[in-house]
Structure 1
Amino acid sequence: MSLRIASRRLRLPSQCSRSLARRGSSQSFKPLQEASEKHNAKTTHFGFETVPEAEKEARVGKVFSSVASSYDTMNDLMSLGIHRLWKDHFVRSLNPGSRAASQDQAWSILDIAGGTGDIAFRMLDHATNVNGDNLTKVTISDINPDMLEEGKKRSLQTPYANSGRIDFKVGNAEKLGFVADNSIDLYTVAFGIRNFTDKDVALREAFRVLKPGGVFACLEFSHVDSSLFNAFYKRWSFGAIPLIGQVVAGDRDSYQYLVESIERFPTQKEFKAMIQKAGFVTPGVGYENLTGGIAAIHKGIKPV
């Protein structure tokens, strides 16, 4: 008797059951679904923070809009003043324009995250003054319009402003829709790739746009190979640079992010493996350390 009574007490009217079922399917499970989607959203690093991938692009954009006008000062602080020597060495090692004896041999260079023109102007100077090449062209692409505007201003102080040899394009390195397959001789990125949301996707895009035999070349802050020197460099990076950024540029947070982004960047060997995974062949050891590993040059060749 008691079991039958308990059964009747627990039984819900069929109309009420259907109503709860409808509410459960449309409302009760919705917060759980949203929580699940949030939990499964892809994340990435923004300095030492872990953030949704969808947020990183905007946050990095804010950083570089803030530092665009003080870009050289930023790199002077980050590199202890020797980034200019690294850039000169980087360009010499690539020797742009070395085979441009005729129009069909002119180099087509894509400089990614190169908004201010630091690398592009050096490329054209080297091609023209060292190799006598007046044909090679550089397209500067940057996701940040403020950085590109800074580059356009600087270009007016060079011989290339109205030469047809330099072009500026707003573009995302992970979706280079304006660049055709197998169309670029040299792809360069200097002090930019550590800020990309998905570096593997960007490397695959680099592989896509390069011609067979084309070269991917990256100059980036990296990891110091001496424990004693590393201790000094870390103290300088995390102790002095954000403070100087606050004093010089009035922007401590952006400089704090930049030193953290270096720390989170893959080691030289890890990044070499990423380049190989994208399909490139890496010559020699695959990278060249500069100033004890404060920066490194990585190269990859697209197989013919």
Structure 2
Amino acid sequence: MSSTTDHALDPQTNETGTEAATAWFGNERVAEADKARRVHDVFAKVASRYDLMNDFMSGGLHRLWKSSLIDTLNPRPGMHLLDVAGGTGDIAFRFLKGAKGEGHVTILDINDHMLAVGRDRAEKQGLVGRIDWTCGDAQSLPLPDRTVDAYSIAFGIRNVTKIPLALAEAHRVLKFGGRFLCLEFCPHLAVPFFDRLYARYSDVVIPRLGGLVAKDEPSYRYLVESIRRFPAPETFAQMMRDAGFETVTHRLMSGGVCALHSGWKL
């Protein structure tokens, strides 16, 4: 797969001759103010089959990756987790199981359709009273400073318009001694031959699966493109440090298909 670290927002001259900020939406340059709306529309379309598609796309591996995040976090009774872009509840449910039902989760997602799916799942599992559901933006969290013990985001940060701002917000709301954990796909693989197979799979199979399972091929083409626009793990690690996180590490999984990023507020 090809890679790029060009996630920055470049100025683009608009019709009046002034500079307007733009951002990548997959392989397309769009007005910065328009990216969030487009991302919202993508996930509104796929929300009802999002978790099913994750199973198809990853062969079920996303379950192991998310379990690894929870094992790394090591939930404790009384811990308060903020799970961002976690509308369907996958991380939250695992966290509460690990905390033996004594923890609490605030789920924040910019997409109300994803949150609706998560609420339905939580009700079926008897977890409604243990989770707060908030429709909001990772770049402007509706939480006071130093209020959560841990922050998680799984396969969501690459969809944020201004990643450094989201990281700064994560650092702001964490208590001292709090931990940031992020699961995200890597833009390229370092394994010879496997990288070409994975690129072919991403380009051809994933969009077709999206069309068959989620009835939305274009959205899954965007998701593949968004992975390739995401910074390499080392670049993202530096972005975390720039936001104030310390003891920053990342661990590659499944041959480098994704990485688990970790940082502490100390």
TM value normalised by structure 2:
0.92
More helix per residue: 1
Decide which of 246, 251, 265 is 2:230's aligned counterpart. Answer: 265
- What amino acid does structure 2 have at the position aligned with 1:61? H
- What amino acid does structure 2 have at the position aligned with 1:290? M
CA offsets per residue over residues 74-103 of structure 1, 9 Å max, x none?
212332331011111111111111xx3xxx
- What is the rounded CA distance, in whole Å, between the counterparts of 1:138 and 1:36 in structure 2? 47
Decide which of 136, 139, 142 is 1:171's aligned counterpart. Answer: 136
Matched, 1:93 2:59: no
CA offsets per residue over residues 205-260 of structure 1, 9 Å max, x none?
00100011110100111132213111110100101111121122221100100111
**2:217 alignment counterpart:** 252
Matched, 1:119 2:91: yes
Single out whichever of 196-205 and 224-233 deviates more from structure 2.
224-233
More strand per residue: 2
Matched, 1:158 2:116: no
CA distance 1:191–1:33, shift in 2 (3 Å): closer
Matched, 1:279 2:250: no
**2:112 alignment counterpart:** 145
- What is the rounded CA distance, in whole Å, between the counterparts of 1:112 and 1:289 in structure 2? 21
**Greater Cα radius of gyration, structure 1 or 2:** 1
Matched, 1:107 2:79: yes
- What is the rounded CA distance, in whole Å, between the counterparts of 2:251 and 2:243 in structure 1? 19
- What is the rounded CA distance, in whole Å, between the counterparts of 1:147 and 1:211 in structure 2? 27
User: Any idea what SS the aligned residue of 1:36 has?
Assistant: coil
Is 2:206–2:221's contact at 8 Å kept on the other side of the alignment? yes
Is 1:272–1:282's contact at 8 Å kept on the other side of the alignment? no
- What is the rounded CA distance, in whole Å, between the counterparts of 1:85 and 1:76 in structure 2? 11
Decide which of 49, 56, 65 is 1:70's aligned counterpart. Answer: 49
- 1:34: Cα distance to partner? 4.8
* Matched pairs, number: 253
- What is the rounded CA distance, in whole Å, between the counterparts of 1:231 and 1:73 in structure 2? 25
Is 1:79–1:294's contact at 8 Å kept on the other side of the alignment? no
- What is the rounded CA distance, in whole Å, between the counterparts of 1:33 and 1:271 in structure 2? 30
- What amino acid does structure 2 have at the position aligned with 1:48? N
User: Any idea what SS the aligned residue of 2:193 has?
Assistant: helix
- 1:33: Cα distance to partner? 8.6
Matched, 1:196 2:160: yes
- 1:278: Cα distance to partner? 0.3
- What amino acid does structure 2 have at the position aligned with 1:114? G
**2:252 alignment counterpart:** 289
User: Any idea what SS the aligned residue of 2:152 has?
Assistant: strand
Which consecutive residues of structure 1, in runs of 5 or more, have no partner in the other structure? 1-31, 101-105, 129-133
**2:38 alignment counterpart:** 59
**1:8 alignment counterpart:** none
User: Any idea what SS the aligned residue of 1:89 has?
Assistant: helix
Q: Percent identity?
A: 49
- What is the rounded CA distance, in whole Å, between the counterparts of 1:246 and 1:33 in structure 2? 35
CA offsets per residue over residues 238-290 of structure 1, 9 Å max, x none?
0111112112222110010011111111101011011011000134xx10001
- 1:201: Cα distance to partner? 0.3
Which consecutive residues of structure 2, in runs of 5 or more, have no partner in the other structure? 1-12
User: Any idea what SS the aligned residue of 2:262 has?
Assistant: strand
CA distance 1:262–1:234, shift in 2 (3 Å): same
- What amino acid does structure 2 have at the position aligned with 1:35? T
Structure 1 runs (4+) deviating above 6 angstroms are: none
Is 2:84–2:108's contact at 8 Å kept on the other side of the alignment? yes
